[in-house]
C-alpha cells in the first residue's frame, strides 16, 4: 500500500506506452497554471489525461482551484469526468457549471451514469437539469430516479443489445454493423422472445467463434442470471462476483428485459460495500474524506456521543465499587486492562462475524458450528491471556489472590466478549439492522460493563 508515487510504478516506465496517472507534481503544475489563469497551460496539462484522472485532479485540489478549473473547462466538460467524480466534488463542480452545460453532458451519458450524477443533487438543481434535457433522455432519467436508492434500477443502463432467437449468428454480426444505436461498450447479446422476455444470452466471444449459419438460440447460454429492477445492489454485486459476470439483464415485474448492468458499475459497489462495513464499524460515513470539516465533525460526533453513553454506563459500574477501590488502589490500576482486552477480543470476533454475514459465509447451515467455534477460541485465548496477566498482577503487587481475581475476571470477560462478538451481529441482522453499524456499540458496552463488574465484584468478595 503506497501513496501514489510516480517513480515506483511501471506506469512511468518510458518503455511502456502508458497512461500517466495523476502525480503530485502534475497536480502542482495544474494548480500553478490555474493561479496564473493560464488557460492554454491548463488545457495542455489535462489533454493527455484519461477522464478518470481528470476527475482525480478535481478531487485533489482545494475549493478555490476547483471553482477556477470548473469555470475554465466547464463548458467543454467531458461527461465521463462528471460520472467519475465523488459525490461531494461532483456537487461543487455542478454548482459552478452552467445548467445548460450540465444538461448537455448528462444527455451524452449512458442512463446509469446520468442517474448517478443526478441522484444526489438537491431537488431544485435536479429539476432544473432534468428540465433542460432532451425529451427522450428526460423520460429515461426520470425512470431511473424512480427506482429505490441502492437498487438494480439505479445501476442499469437502458441501452442494450437484444435479438430474437430465430436470428442466425451471421444476422447478429451484420446487425452490429448497421445498427447505429448500440451501447458504447457491450459484452454479450440478450436473446428475447416476442414479449421481450430474455430466454438466453450469448457472449460476444462465443458469437465470433460460431458459424454464421447457426441459429443464435443454439449457441446461447440458456439460463441467464437475471435480477428484478428492485433488487438490492448488494445482491447484484454478490451475483456478479459469484458467477464472474461481465453484465447482467434486469427485468421488470412482468419479466420483460428493461436494462443491463455492467461489471464496471458493480466493481464500485463491491469495493463500496466492503469499505462501508469498515467505516460503519468505526462510526464514520463512507464519504467522510471528501466532506467539509463541519459535516464530517457533525457525522462523527453522533457516534462519539453514543459511545460516551456506554463509557458512562461503565463508569457507573465502577462507582458501585468505589469503597472497594478506596481500600485497594491496585484495583484501579488493573481494571482498565480487563475492559480493554475484552474489547479487543470482542472486536475480533465481531469483525469476523460482520464480514461473514456480508459475504454469506455465515449461513443458517453453519451458524451453530461457528458460534461454538467462537466460544472455543474465546475460552482458549481467555485462558492464555488470564495466565499472562494473572501472573504479572501477582508479581507486580505481590498478591496471589489479586492475581487469581484478575485471571478469573479475564476469562469471564473474554468468553462474554466472544459470545457478544458473534451473537450481537447475528441478532441485529435477524431484526434487519445493519450489523456493521450497531454491533460495536453493543459489544463495547458488554465488554466494559462485564469487565469492570467481574473484576471489581470478585475483588470486593475475595480481597476486601
Based on the shown chain and the rule CB under 8 A, indicate whether residue 329 belongs to the binding site for its own copies: yes
Tell me which of 111, 201, 246, 447 binds its own copies, using CB under 8 A.
Answer: 246
Residues in region 153-192 near its own copies by CB under 8 A = 173, 176-177, 182, 185-187
Q: How far is the CB of 104 from its own copies (least distance, A)?
A: 22
C-alpha cell recorded at residue 457 = 465484584
Q: Which is nearer to its own copies, 126 or 299 (CB)?
A: 299
Q: How far is the CB of 20 from its own copies (least distance, A)?
A: 10
- Strand ordering across the sheet containing 226-228: 226-228, 247-251, 257-262
Based on the shown chain and the rule CB under 8 A, indicate whether residue 15 belongs to the binding site for its own copies: yes
C-alpha cell recorded at residue 25 = 507534481
C-alpha cell recorded at residue 103 = 444538461
**Residue 202 — left, alpha, or beta (φ > 0 → left; ψ -120 to 50 → alpha)?**
beta
User: Count residues contacting its own copies (CB under 8 A)?
Assistant: 147
- Burial (0-12, 13-18, 19+ Cβ within 10 Å), 74: middle
Part of the chain binding its own copies (CB under 8 A), chosen from 39-47, 116-124, 140-148, 285-293: 285-293
Q: Give every CB contact of residue 415 below 8 A, 6+ residues apart in sequence.
A: 375, 378, 379, 382
Alpha-helical segments (H) within 179-215: 204-207
Based on the shown chain and the rule CB under 8 A, indicate whether residue 391 belongs to the binding site for its own copies: no
Based on the shown chain and the rule CB under 8 A, indicate whether residue 240 belongs to the binding site for its own copies: yes
Tell me how far apart the alpha carbons of residues 369 and 306 are, in angstroms, rounded to a whole number: 33
Alpha-helical segments (H) within 229-287: 233-243, 263-281
Residues in region 334-363 near its own copies by CB under 8 A = 334-337, 339-341, 344-345, 347-348, 350-352, 355-363
Part of the chain binding its own copies (CB under 8 A), chosen from 93-101, 112-120, 132-140, 314-322: 314-322
Part of the chain binding its own copies (CB under 8 A), chosen from 33-41, 100-108, 135-143, 383-391: 383-391
Tell me how far apart the alpha carbons of residues 75 and 228 are, in angstroms, rounded to a whole number: 38
Based on the shown chain and the rule CB under 8 A, indicate whether residue 376 belongs to the binding site for its own copies: yes
Based on the shown chain and the rule CB under 8 A, indicate whether residue 296 belongs to the binding site for its own copies: yes
Q: How far is the CB of 146 from its own copies (least distance, A)?
A: 18
Binding pattern to its own copies, positions 195-224, x when CB under 8 A?
----x---xxx-xxx-x----------xxx
Q: How far is the CB of 288 from its own copies (least distance, A)?
A: 5
Q: How far is the CB of 413 from its own copies (least distance, A)?
A: 12
- The pair phi, psi for residue 213, each rounded to 5°, is -80, -20
Q: How far is the CB of 4 from its own copies (least distance, A)?
A: 5
Q: Which is nearer to its own copies, 133 or 210 (CB)?
A: 210
Asked if residue 455 lies in contact with residue 324, where contact means CB atoms within 8 angstroms, the answer is no
- Nearest Cα neighbor of 405 from 447, 333, 344, 461 is 461
Tell me how far apart the alpha carbons of residues 404 and 333 are, in angstroms, rounded to a whole number: 16
Q: How far is the CB of 119 from its own copies (least distance, A)?
A: 19
From residue 121, give the alpha-carbon distance in Å to each of 87, 95, 98, 151, 162: 9, 9, 15, 18, 33
Binding pattern to its own copies, positions 59-98, x when CB under 8 A?
xxxx------------------------------------
CB atoms within 10 A of CB 460: 18
Residues in region 135-154 near its own copies by CB under 8 A = none
Asked if residue 238 lies in contact with residue 360, where contact means CB atoms within 8 angstroms, the answer is yes
Tell me which of 318, 409, 449, 450 binds its own copies, using CB under 8 A.
Answer: 318
End-to-end CA distance of the chain: 53
Residues in region 21-50 near its own copies by CB under 8 A = 21-22, 24, 27-28, 50
- Nearest Cα neighbor of 415 from 453, 451, 382, 372 is 382
Tell me which of 3, 123, 136, 398 binds its own copies, using CB under 8 A.
Answer: 3
Q: Which is nearer to its own copies, 185 or 218 (CB)?
A: 185
Residues in region 264-283 near its own copies by CB under 8 A = 264, 266-268, 270-271, 274-275, 277-279, 281-283
Q: How far is the CB of 275 from its own copies (least distance, A)?
A: 5
Q: How far is the CB of 237 from its own copies (least distance, A)?
A: 9
Asked if residue 415 lies in contact with residue 368, where contact means CB atoms within 8 angstroms, the answer is no
Asked if residue 333 lies in contact with residue 389, where contact means CB atoms within 8 angstroms, the answer is no
Q: Which is nearer to its own copies, 144 or 418 (CB)?
A: 418
282 three-class SS: coil
Amino acid at each position: 500500500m503506497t501513496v501514489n508515487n510516480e517513480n515506483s510504478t511501471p506506469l512511468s516506465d518510458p518503455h511502456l506506452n502508458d497512461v500517466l496517472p495523476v502525480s503530485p507534481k502534475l497536480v502542482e503544475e495544474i494548480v500553478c497554471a490555474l493561479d496564473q489563469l493560464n488557460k492554454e497551460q491548463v488545457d495542455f496539462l489535462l489533454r493527455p489525461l484519461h477522464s478518470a484522472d481528470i476527475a482525480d485532479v478535481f478531487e485533489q485540489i482545494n475549493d478555490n482551484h476547483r471553482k477556477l478549473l470548473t469555470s475554465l473547462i466547464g463548458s467543454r466538460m467531458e461527461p465521463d469526468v462528471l460520472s467519475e467524480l465523488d459525490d461531494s466534488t461532483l456537487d461543487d463542480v455542478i454548482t459552478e457549471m452552467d445548467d445548460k452545460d450540465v444538461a448537455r453532458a448528462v444527455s451524452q451519458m449512458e442512463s446509469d451514469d446520468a442517474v448517478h450524477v443526478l441522484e444526489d443533487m438537491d431537488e431544485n438543481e435536479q429539476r432544473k437539469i432534468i428540465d433542460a434535457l432532451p425529451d427522450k433522455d428526460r423520460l429515461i432519467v426520470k425512470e431511473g430516479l424512480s427506482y429505490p436508492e441502492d437498487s438494480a434500477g439505479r445501476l442499469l443502463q437502458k441501452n442494450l443489445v437484444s435479438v430474437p432467437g430465430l436470428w442466425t449468428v451471421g444476422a447478429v454480426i451484420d446487425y452490429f454493423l448497421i445498427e447505429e444505436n448500440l451501447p458504447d461498450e457491450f459484452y454479450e447479446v440478450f436473446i428475447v422472445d416476442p414479449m421481450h422476455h430474455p430466454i438466453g444470452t450469448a457472449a460476444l466471444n462465443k458469437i465470433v467463434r460460431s458459424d454464421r449459419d447457426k441459429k443464435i438460440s443454439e449457441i446461447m447460454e440458456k439460463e441467464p442470471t437475471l435480477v428484478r429492477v428492485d433488487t438490492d445492489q448488494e445482491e447484484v454485486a454478490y451475483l456478479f462476483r459469484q458467477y464472474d459476470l461481465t453484465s447482467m439483464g434486469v427485468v421488470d415485474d412482468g419479466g420483460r428485459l428493461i436494462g443491463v448492468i455492467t461489471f464496471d458499475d458493480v466493481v464500485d459497489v463491491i469495493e463500496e460495500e466492503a469499505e462501508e462495513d469498515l467505516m460503519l464499524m468505526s462510526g464514520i460515513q463512507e464519504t467522510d474524506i471528501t466532506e467539509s470539516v463541519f459535516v464530517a465533525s457533525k457525522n462523527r460526533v453522533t457516534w462519539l456521543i453514543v459511545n460516551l453513553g456506554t463509557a458512562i454506563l461503565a463508569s457507573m459500574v465502577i462507582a458501585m465499587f468505589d469503597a472497594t477501590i478506596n481500600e485497594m488502589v491496585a484495583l484501579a490500576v488493573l481494571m482498565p486492562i480487563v475492559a480493554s482486552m475484552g474489547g479487543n477480543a470482542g472486536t475480533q470476533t465481531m469483525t469476523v462475524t460482520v464480514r461473514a454475514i456480508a459475504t454469506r459465509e455465515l449461513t443458517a447451515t453453519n451458524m451453530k458450528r461457528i458460534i461454538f467455534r467462537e466460544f472455543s477460541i474465546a475460552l482458549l485465548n481467555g485462558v492464555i491471556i488470564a495466565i499472562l496477566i494473572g501472573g504479572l498482577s501477582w508479581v507486580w503487587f505481590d498478591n496471589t489472590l489479586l492475581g487469581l481475581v484478575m485471571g478469573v475476571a479475564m476469562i469471564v470477560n473474554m468468553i462474554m466478549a466472544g459470545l457478544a462478538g458473534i451473537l450481537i451481529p447475528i441478532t441485529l441482522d435477524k431484526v434487519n439492522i445493519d450489523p456493521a453499524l450497531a454491533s460495536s456499540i453493543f459489544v463495547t458496552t458488554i465488554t466494559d460493563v462485564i469487565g469492570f463488574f467481574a473484576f471489581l465484584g470478585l475483588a470486593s468478595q475475595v480481597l476486601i
